[in-house]
Amino acid sequence: MIVDANWLISHIDDENLTIIDSRGIMPFRFNHIKNARPMSVEDVISIDENGSHLVIAPHVAEQIFTDMGIDDTKLVIVYGDYPDPSLARIVWTLIYFGHKNVKILDIGFENWVRLGYPTTTTDYKPKNSSTESGTGFVARINATERADAQLIYEEQDKPETIIIDARSPQEHFQARIPGSILHNYEEGFGDMGKMIKDVEMLSQDFEKIGITKDKQIICYCHSGIRAAHTYLQLKQAGFENVRLYDGSIIDWAKRKYPLR
């Protein structure tokens, strides 16, 4: 799930690489990594009538990611600000729609600049975009990466399922999905501006609170953004059976499921 800065520098002009800047258009215009293209987390969220921040429709995903130059041949690297978890929701969306070759940059953009890596203000214009070549992003939904309220309600009391609340301790103790355990997403950030801890440290952190690889893991937060970062932490640590509840506590409460 992770690419280090030196690798990115050495491959930055590769034709089969798409770099996504998750900070939004205004920071991007001010400064960004060469060949990056801007995308906001809002681009991959559909707000429903309950105010829940759900995954976008397949045809919307196909248009957005095709416009970004993404197809099955591309390695996608997403970067953002430390410790903003927004990049994780973009990565999860790509995974949910079947794009397997997607990673995050190991450091935030501010640290990239501080370490002296090159930046630019020039927009990237691909020679042959996916749209022009007649190819593009094809949405292939991987349903095992996502959970909804009904699934959680059915699974929450089963010993083989663990529900993780990625919010702060204050939020967790105020109101939470019954049976969920607290693991603040911020605990998964590494030292020195690293976007995710190393694998060994992540594994130890999860094991300490009983999160093991033989379980089905479902992550939630307030709107499914912080939980997406926890989802990536688990994937980085080698967990395979992990789902994101994209609707999260907003959706759960609006549907009048019980809170504790």
pLDDT one-digit tens code per residue, 66-113: 999 999 999 999 999 999 999 999 999 999 999 999 999 999 999 999
52's tokens = 């829940």
pLDDT greater than 50 at residue 131: no
Alpha carbon of residue 149 to chain centroid: 20
pTM across the whole model:
0.95
Query: So what's the pLDDT on residue 150?
Result: 96
Which region, left, alpha or beta, applies to residue 26 given φ > 0 means left and ψ of -120 to 50 means alpha? alpha
Query: So what's the pLDDT on residue 236?
Result: 97
Cα–Cα distance between 152 and 147 in angstroms, integer?
Answer: 7
194's tokens = 């690293």
Do residues 101 and 77 make contact, with C-beta atoms less than 8 angstroms apart? no
**118: Cβ–Cβ under 8 A, 6 or more apart, which residues?**
9, 33, 34
The 216-220 sheet, strands edge to edge: 146-147, 242-245, 216-220, 161-165, 181-182
The mean pLDDT of 49-55, rounded to a whole number, is 94
Query: So what's the pLDDT on residue 32?
Result: 98
In whole numbers, what is the pLDDT of the chain averaged over residues? 94
